[in-house]
Amino acid sequence: MNDPLIIIGAGQAADQIVASLAQNGYKAPIVVIGEEPHPPYQRPPLSKKFLAGEMAVDRLYLKPAAFYDKAGASLMLDRRVTNIDRATRTVVTGTDARLNYATLVIATGSRPRRIALPGTDLDGVLYLRTIADVQAIHSRFQPGKRLVIVGGGYIGLELAAVAVKHGLDVTVLEQVPRLMARGVGPVVSNFYARLHARHGVKVHLSTAVTGFEGAGRVERVACADSHHAADLVVIGVGAVPNVELAAQAGLAVDDGIVVDDQCRTADPAVYAIGDCASQMQPLAGRRLRLESVDNALSQAKAAAAAICGRPLPPPQTPWFWSDQYNVKLQMAGLSAGHDEAVVRGDPESGTSFAVFYLRDARLIAVDAVNRVPEFMASRQLIAQAARPPADRLRNEGIAMKDICG
């Protein structure tokens, strides 16, 4: 009897690898084991349209049930894997059932970084990662309520945009001196600070939270020099990868689960994909863990090709996006290590601009704010290792299409 290919995790990476295995003609049975009660669903709308109440739960689901049937995949939902035994090629689930695998794909994703401060256990202090998290936020999401968001990253700011539009009184507390500091350059951070202020969000930078106060229920967020009244607190201070199962199984973990260009671990029967995997990123020149839909899909496609003995798909430029108000932020490449930042357009007074990041004259990343051509052209230029002259990038008189050549 053929043991199945088991996928631990039922997020976007799991969904894509099922699709890609089917496309590559994979025939053995597939079992997807997910901790949440939902089939694979899209997380990006959770902090946008779904939070805004503009999208029903079933619209989040990535595929119809028939899709998994057709691909030979069974979904085991609401089930937690507690152990991987590589010697016997077995996974153990919470109900103590043991399942043998021929191939194992670890797609366990990441979880919100918890902060260890007094009062995080108070009622009304929440995180945002899952459908259940958003439903908990929703029950308190009423106009006039005071929402304090801890963390000025993508999730916190997307939440702020939806909340202020919904009539909540919104405060964002960010520990470092600028917004989205891990993801974008200072010019973009400053633009977003002004954008949120203009919409009525109170943004406090360089403000470290020291604790949460209230009688059973959160009433205040305490900072070093200030207090902020709150009916609801959402903490969005990054994510940590779910690597414990892999580490317990003796697989190498370096921030994420260490994998090669085929997404394979040192054990040839075990792969890791998505937020939990750490892979060499040629653009950065080092091993990195990327948290994005694009990365989940790319790694799923690569692993599926490797499992089926097909050539790997060509590497793509990593990309990311964030929608806040009616402003579309699209990012491509990895800007770490850039030695020049070139601005096209006017971030001070305009509503659209792009920042190109160059290293040794090579374009390595772009942050595009309401600038689709700059984003799309840069994806191509970055993949080609192009060296577009800075003065041409800066010159709005030259179309991006022409810079692409």
Q: Which residues bind another protein (CB under 8 A)?
A: 42, 44-45, 59, 62-64, 66-67, 70, 293-294, 297, 319, 321, 323, 328, 330, 370, 372-373, 376-377, 379-380, 401
Q: Which is nearer to another protein, 175 or 380 (by Cβ)?
A: 380
Q: Which is nearer to another protein, 321 or 325 (by Cβ)?
A: 321
Q: Which is nearer to another protein, 61 or 359 (by Cβ)?
A: 61
- To another protein, the closest distance from the beta carbon of 346 in angstroms equals 18
Q: Look up residue 41 and give its DSSP letter.
A: B
- To another protein, the closest distance from the beta carbon of 48 in angstroms equals 8
- To another protein, the closest distance from the beta carbon of 227 in angstroms equals 37
Q: Which is nearer to another protein, 231 or 323 (by Cβ)?
A: 323
Q: Which is nearer to another protein, 203 or 368 (by Cβ)?
A: 368
Q: How far is residue 346's CA from residue 132's CA, in Å, rounded to a whole number?
A: 40
Q: Which is nearer to another protein, 262 or 370 (by Cβ)?
A: 370
Give one DSSP letter per residue of 261-317, joined into a string: TTSB-SSTTEEE-GGGEEEEETTTTEEE---SHHHHHHHHHHHHHHHTTPPPPPP--
- To another protein, the closest distance from the beta carbon of 394 in angstroms equals 19
Q: Which is nearer to another protein, 42 or 190 (by Cβ)?
A: 42
**Kind plus residue range of the DSSP H or E element containing 98:** strand 98-100
Q: How far is residue 372's CA from residue 353's CA, in Å, rounded to a whole number?
A: 10
Through-space distance between the first and last CA atoms of the chain, rounded to whole angstroms? 55
- To another protein, the closest distance from the beta carbon of 33 in angstroms equals 23
Residue type (1 letter), 290: L
Q: How far is residue 236's CA from residue 209's CA, in Å, rounded to a whole number?
A: 12
Q: How far is residue 266's CA from residue 365's CA, in Å, rounded to a whole number?
A: 31
Q: Which distant-in-sequence residues (6+ apart) come within 8 Å of 236 by Cβ?
A: 112, 127, 128, 149, 150, 151, 153, 155, 156, 159
For residue 101, how many other CB atoms are within 10 A of its CB? 21
Q: Which is nearer to another protein, 103 or 298 (by Cβ)?
A: 298
Q: How far is residue 83's CA from residue 91's CA, in Å, rounded to a whole number?
A: 6
- To another protein, the closest distance from the beta carbon of 234 in angstroms equals 22
Q: How far is residue 205's CA from residue 164's CA, in Å, rounded to a whole number?
A: 18
CA 177 remoteness from chain centre: 22
Nearest 5°: CA angle at 79, between 74 and 83? 105
Q: How far is residue 31's CA from residue 40's CA, in Å, rounded to a whole number?
A: 13
Place of tokens 């203009």: 198
- To another protein, the closest distance from the beta carbon of 400 in angstroms equals 8
Q: Which is nearer to another protein, 213 or 294 (by Cβ)?
A: 294
Q: Which distant-in-sequence residues (6+ apart) come within 8 Å of 310 by Cβ?
A: 24, 304
- To another protein, the closest distance from the beta carbon of 207 in angstroms equals 31
Contact, 239 vs 289, CB < 8 A?
no
- To another protein, the closest distance from the beta carbon of 373 in angstroms equals 5
